[in-house]
Amino acid sequence: MSDEDTDGAEESEDADDHALPPEDLRYPEFVFEDGGIADDGSFDLDADLDREELREWVEDLTGGLASHDVAVESPDGYVTLGVAPDGVRMSFDPDESGVGDFEVTVEMRVKAMFVADDPDGEKVGARGGKGFVPVKALTEDGDGDGEYRCYNWIDDPTDP
């Protein structure tokens, strides 16, 4: 096998490294009882969770990170996000007795794929039975490097 053939095989393996088989795909929807999601998909929400609920959320987030896709819902909005890992921060500042808050912040680079003002309305993408990937994303160079990651080709997530 020539060096050229080897380089092509390595690139193919790298490109497929993040892909999951369909049976392993997970699309978590994180639902908040209060708060809103803006027209552009932005939000600042929080929830009080007990130990089991938090464990389930972290497990769901793990599945969403592997599948590159999570959704967030509030009473007046819904947004689906294409996600990619960016980093993590941890902090612990105990008081004199050694007790304090342990904070974990997971940072991801995201792209809003679908935004709606009605969380009960029709959803698109994997959740709505409509695919996100247009044929041109599979056949054309759109962003200069020939790869479509985290749905960079979506221009307006409010008009799927």
Quote the CA–CA distance of 136 and 154 in Å, as a whole number. Answer: 12
CB 150 within 8 A of CB 83: yes
* Digitized pLDDT (tens) for each residue of the chain, 160 residues in all: 545 544 444 444 444 455 667 777 778 899 999 999 999 999 999 999 999 999 999 999 998 888 888 999 999 899 989 888 899 999 999 999 999 999 999 999 888 888 998 888 877 665 655 555 555 554 555 554 544 455 666 777 777 5
Report residue 12 as tokens. Answer: 């193919």
Report residue 91 as tokens. Answer: 């902090």
For the chain, the structural domain boundaries read 23-139
Q: Which residues contact 135 (CB under 8 A, 6 or more apart)?
A: none
- Its pTM stands at 0.71
Hey, which residues does 74 pair with through a beta bridge? 77
